[in-house]
Structure 1
Amino acid sequence: MGLALHTTRGDGRATIAARGSIDLHSSDELRARLTELLDAGERAVVVDLTAVDFCDSSGLNVLVRAYKHARAQNASLTVTGAYGRVENVLRTTGLDRFLIGGAEEGVG
């Protein structure tokens, strides 16, 4: 299964609801959408991973880079809805501390 992205705006934030798998073949699409929103001046971006069943290292790289890009623009990027394998990979790598819940500390 590929990746489908749906963006909504409201309550002072932009939310990207992702569905499918975030991997080498689909991560560029997510990267482009996140960059587009942040460069357009969005101050709060939420990535909803509720319907994502897989995320590999290329997907994690996109999320970390977008997080750093957001911080550089005085914006926030958070992840919500991660469960199962996706939640496990975020926790195992320690990225949950930065991405889930909008932690205030920066990434390396």
Structure 2
Amino acid sequence: MTDNQKADRPDRLSVEPEVVDGVRVVTMQGEIDHDVKDVLSAALLSEDSTVAPRIVVDLSGVTFMDSSGINVFVAAYQQVSEAQGWLRIAGAQDSVLRVLQLVGVDTVIPCHPTIEQALNA
């Protein structure tokens, strides 16, 4: 598949960040794989360490995730933990949640059914 074909795929990852009550909520839609790991990294990993990062990642619109996504989530978790912050996952569809559970990410990064539950945990 050429780069142009990848760019034309409707299932590529879209990322919409917003701040809700001082928490960065990153809503994602599409597929998380090797081709979009840089987009995912940019959305979660930060150069700014002046504020303890608090991040909720809304995966309700993500239909597929491979090990590339797992690696970025683990790196983001490590970064926010070192900065006395936290990372939570919300709304993962069954197929994505299953991947998180198979590798044990859900035992390290809290996974919640909804954004509201993740924000209030």
1:63 corresponds to which letter in structure 2? F
2:62 maps to 52
Q: Which has the larger radius of gyration?
A: 2
Which consecutive unaligned segments of at least 5 residues does structure 1 have?
103-108
Alignment CA distance shift 1:29-1:54 (3 Å): same
Alignment CA distance shift 1:40-1:5 (3 Å): farther
The 3-state SS of whatever aligns with 1:99 is coil
Q: Among the aligned pairs, what percent are the same residue?
A: 32
1:83 corresponds to which letter in structure 2? Q
Which consecutive unaligned segments of at least 5 residues does structure 2 have?
1-10, 113-121
1:105 maps to none
TM-score normalised per structure 2: 0.77
Looking at structure 2, the residues matched to 55 and 11 of structure 1 have their Cα atoms a distance apart, in angstroms, of 28
Alignment CA distance shift 1:23-1:40 (3 Å): farther
1:98 Cα deviation (Å)? 1.4
TM-score normalised per structure 1: 0.86
1:97 maps to 107
2:79 is matched with which residue: 65, 69, 75? 69
1:88 is matched with which residue: 98, 104, 108? 98
